[in-house]
Structure 1
């Protein structure tokens, strides 16, 4: 032991000092779930910290996943396939997704009509759908979104008016 560096021994009769976190005898008190939920609620925008929290305590996983997967943004074919593979290995994660934003461009292959319909089967609780970009939308893309109540299309286009009408008909919960 170096001179001038003392490690305090815990007193078995008294409280453990809260600043000493490296002692093997330190027992972290169990916090009520209401407190830990409030802590995780404050971290809702910090995805990296939420991911770390889900690794620390098993009981924090559902609340961490709620905020981590609540809003998903898909930018292109590779992101869509990445989400598909994640949902194949963890099917329950799809129930946490409530908002989906799809960003498209004309230059990309038509992944909207091929990948998104398969992906949407795994996202049954999406209630807000946003499509942004200058890509072409089709009614078949939005066939599997029965719970969508809010649809926003920015700078997107439909090939025909019938495709637009078909999209509206495919979203029975959407208010017009």
Structure 2
């Protein structure tokens, strides 16, 4: 009986790369066909149910050699998984990855509420390609933990990046530079930032200059680490380009005994009002409401150029030590903003 050369057998099996049933049959035919069959069977693994994580872990523990064939791991569509399932996945995922020494590509897709599981990726993962599509991380730190766990990373693809939240203790220049170099800023519709320095403000200005008209929601808090005086001015390096015409603007500010906050009115004046429909003001009240120039705020919002404005939403968080309640604060707000109140535009959020 003639013998078929091994390289010709491999060539034939390669044609079956999408036929799992035939590949399984080939892997059971003879010992020589096993490596090529397993290469196609396990090269790419998709985990889209909590049960699959457990099953795959058991398979690898029983047959560790199978993990050497895995080159691509995709995690997708876990939106129906409960909190207990996600906690279990977060525990199992690091174990799985230790069995995959040749893993080159890691992908997460449509993890709208479950991207936090990816923060459990262990350090020194051999991944060189990271692909994330419509993943909602609870905090930037979770994404950063994933990013830095892949020291060999050569390619980063972020698709569907629509909302970006940057809090304190974030290296704004590095994160924004990464976004701009990869072109990941183009799809951002919602941006929330907490600025603590002029350097942060400058980096934000660069990002806003590049985002342009795609941005519809902007949320800014300016909380300088070293104010230097009892007046908090708008950062001199912060520029809101004319191409940014948001529909919702949120300003978050603390009001204390020692400081006045003219930066709020300065920022409000700098925003193009063409599309602005909602202005939201969130205040942490540690002192007197008079620290804000309410008359100027109303004078900015009432004129004709703000004709698209439909709502002014105010949220006051009263800190302990301030001898006021929500009812008295709201009555004061109606007194400070009489024209907005009379137009029915003033809303209070709890």
Identify which of 126, 146, 158 aligns with 1:167. Answer: 146
Deviation at 1:144, TM superposition (A): 4.9
1:86-105 equivalences under 5 Å are 86-105=59-78
Distance 1:116 1:75 in 2: 13
Deviation at 1:138, TM superposition (A): 4.8
Distance 1:46 1:172 in 2: 35
Match of 1:155 in 2: 134
1:120-139 equivalences under 5 Å are 120-133=97-110, 134=112, 135-138=114-117
**Residue 84 of structure 1 pairs with residue 57 of structure 2:** yes
Match of 1:39 in 2: 12
Distance 1:145 1:48 in 2: 35
Distance 1:170 1:117 in 2: 11
Residue deviations 1:56-110 (CA, integer Å, cap 9, x gap): 1211011100110000000121111111111111110000000000114333121
Flag the 1:53–1:139 CA change in 2: closer, same or farther, 3 A: closer
Deviation at 1:143, TM superposition (A): 1.7
Match of 1:113 in 2: 90
Deviation at 1:145, TM superposition (A): 5.8
Contact 1:44 1:50 in 2 (8 A): yes
- TM-score normalised by length of structure 1: 0.78
Relative contact order (alpha carbons < 8 A, sep ≥ 6): 1 or 2 greater? 1
- TM-score normalised by length of structure 2: 0.41
Deviation at 1:112, TM superposition (A): 3.5
CA RMSD of aligned residues (A): 1.6
Flag the 1:45–1:144 CA change in 2: closer, same or farther, 3 A: farther
Distance 1:121 1:140 in 2: 15
Contact 1:138 1:163 in 2 (8 A): no
Distance 2:17 2:46 in 1: 16
Structure ID, larger Rg: 2
Contact 1:132 1:154 in 2 (8 A): yes
Residue deviations 1:118-157 (CA, integer Å, cap 9, x gap): 1111112111111012223256422256211111111111
Distance 2:149 2:126 in 1: 10
Gaps of 5+ in 2: 157-350
**Residue 60 of structure 1 pairs with residue 33 of structure 2:** yes
Contact 2:123 2:148 in 1 (8 A): no
Residue deviations 1:5-55 (CA, integer Å, cap 9, x gap): xxxxxxxxxxxxxxxxxxxxxx4x211111101111111111110110111
- Which protein is richer in strand relative to its size? 2
